[in-house]
Amino acid sequence: LSVLSTVAACLFLVPEQNRAKLHKVLQVIGDIFTFRHLLLGMILRTLYIFMTIFTITAGFLLLFGVRIQHFYIGTFWGGLMTMVLGPIVLRILFEALSLRIMMLDELKQMNRRASAGGNSKMPARPARPRPAVCDDCGTRYDPREDSCPNCGSTYRR
C-alpha cells in the first residue's frame, strides 16, 4: 500500500506540470513533498514554546523543592537560575536554528528567481575596463583616458 501511495504521489503530486490541475489541498500536499515550503520553521517555533514553558515550570518546581518518592530535589538558587537562564539559553539556540532555516529559505527564493529569469534585488555592477600599459614609460593607465598620467604621451588606439 505504501509503495502504491509513493508511486501515485510521484506521478500526480510532484511534477510541476500537474500542479495547476490539482485541488488546493493537493497542491499544499505536493508542496510538502517537493520541499517548496519548509515545515521545520513551524516545528521549531512550537518546540521553542513548549521547551520554554517546560523550563520555567521545572525552575518553579526546583525553586520550592519537589519531593519525589523519598528524595528531595531542588534548591532555591537552582530553580531561580533555571527560570532565568533557561529561557535565555533556549532563545539563543532556537534563534540560531531559525537563522539557518531563514538562510536556506532565502537561498531557495534566490535560486527560484534566477531560474525564472526574474530581476534580482541587487543591480549588476558595470564591468571595469582592464588597465593598459603605456608604451613609452610602462605606467598603467585607464584606457578611457587620452594621455598617460606619468609622461603625457598620447595613446595609440
Give me the pLDDT at residue 26, please.
Answer: 79
Question: Rounded to whole angstroms, how far apart are CA atoms 73 and 63?
Answer: 10
Q: Output the CA angle 82-63-85, nearest 5 degrees.
A: 15
CA distance 80 to 78: 5
pLDDT tens sequence across 92-105: 999 998 888 888 88
Residue 18 phi/psi, 5° resolution?
-85, -10
What is the predicted pLDDT for the residue at 129?
63
* Dist. CA 15–CA 48, nearest whole Å: 34
Q: Whole-model pTM above 0.75? A: no
Residue of 84, 85, 60 lying closest to 73 (CA atoms): 60
The neighbouring-strand residues paired with 133 are 140
Cell matching residue 44: 521549531
